[in-house]
Structure 1
Amino acid sequence: MIAPCLRLVGLVSGCAALLTGCSAAADSKSEITATEAAEMQRSAFVTECSGTAAGWEATGVVSNRDAIEHTYRVVISFVTPESAVLERTSTDVVVPPGTTQDFTTETKLNPVDRPQSVRCELHGVEQL
């Protein structure tokens, strides 16, 4: 008689845990959806990373899908092949509604000491 009761308790506990997990997942989903909605209003991409006489330069684009003009701060990290961050730069980009705007930012490095290979990584985009 005790064994069937223990199975029932185990079954009820398992169902409660499953339902709690579903509830938590639903809450997380709504938070993710809100974040994704905000991100869909803008997008930014690095389109080129190249060496210059003075250091390295990142170029890219920022898109504004909103109905009003926004200014975005784009942050770029210049990173060595070993993943060491050489420098982090930022630039402010004014983007009219429904358009895409180019941006450029650069880091000045000693030409003698600068690495031969650098990655330009998009570190972040913030609406000002």
Structure 2
Amino acid sequence: MIAPYLRLVGVICGCAALLSGCGRSSEPKAAVDTADRADLQHTTAEMQRSAFVTGCEGTLSGWEATAVVSNRDQIEHRYLVVISFMTPESAVLERTSTEILVAPGGTQDFTTETVLDPVTRPQSVRCVLRGVEQL
């Protein structure tokens, strides 16, 4: 006999909590997270524009990617660049990471190579820039 009244009290308390604004506590946090995400994407996009793959060719022992990194700042920076060697179907064959020191306002070319079995490697390999991080 008391149980129906307890349920009714629970429903009324739940409705009162929603009407008082307890259900909106996550809105400001979501707005902050969205702004942080946009800022991070902008920073990542800026770094991605600072590095480009300029060539991707087969060698006797595998595949070689040539790339360039630009430093837009007025001080010397070290960059970590990650390049994936991929099949036309987007399967990753190998991934390399290379550290490059770039002078203020300068541009630095570099080459990274992966060893692939000449018998089993695909005839076509793509060299894809996977990441650039300023160290």
Q: Give the TM-score band, short-chain normalised.
A: 0.7 to 0.9
- Residues paired across the two proteins, number: 108
Which residues in structure 2 correspond to 1:20-99 (within 5 Å)? Answer: 24=31, 28-29=34-35, 31-33=37-39, 35-37=41-43, 39-40=45-46, 43-99=50-106
1:39 deviation in Å? 5.0
Gaps (5+ residues) in structure 1? 1-19
Listed one character per residue, the Cα deviations across residues 26-64 of structure 1 (whole Å, up to 9, x for unaligned) are: 873465246525753661110111101110000010011
Report the Cα distance in structure 2 between the residues aligned to 1:81 and 1:75, rounded to whole angstroms: 19
- Report sequence identity in percent: 65
What is the aligned partner in structure 1 of residue 128 from structure 2? 121
Alignment CA distance shift 1:66-1:39 (3 Å): farther
Q: Secondary structure at the match of 1:36?
A: helix
Which residues in structure 2 correspond to 1:4-19 (within 5 Å)? Answer: none
* Amino acid in the other structure paired with 1:50: E
1:82 deviation in Å? 1.4
Q: Secondary structure at the match of 1:112?
A: coil
Listed one character per residue, the Cα deviations across residues 67-122 of structure 1 (whole Å, up to 9, x for unaligned) are: 11011111100000111100001111100011111011010011111110000000
* Structure with more strand by fraction: 1
Report the Cα distance in structure 2 between the residues aligned to 1:96 and 1:89, rounded to whole angstroms: 23
Report the Cα distance in structure 2 between the residues aligned to 1:111 and 1:52, rounded to whole angstroms: 9
Please identify the structure whose Cα radius of gyration is greater. 2
CA RMSD across the alignment? 2.3
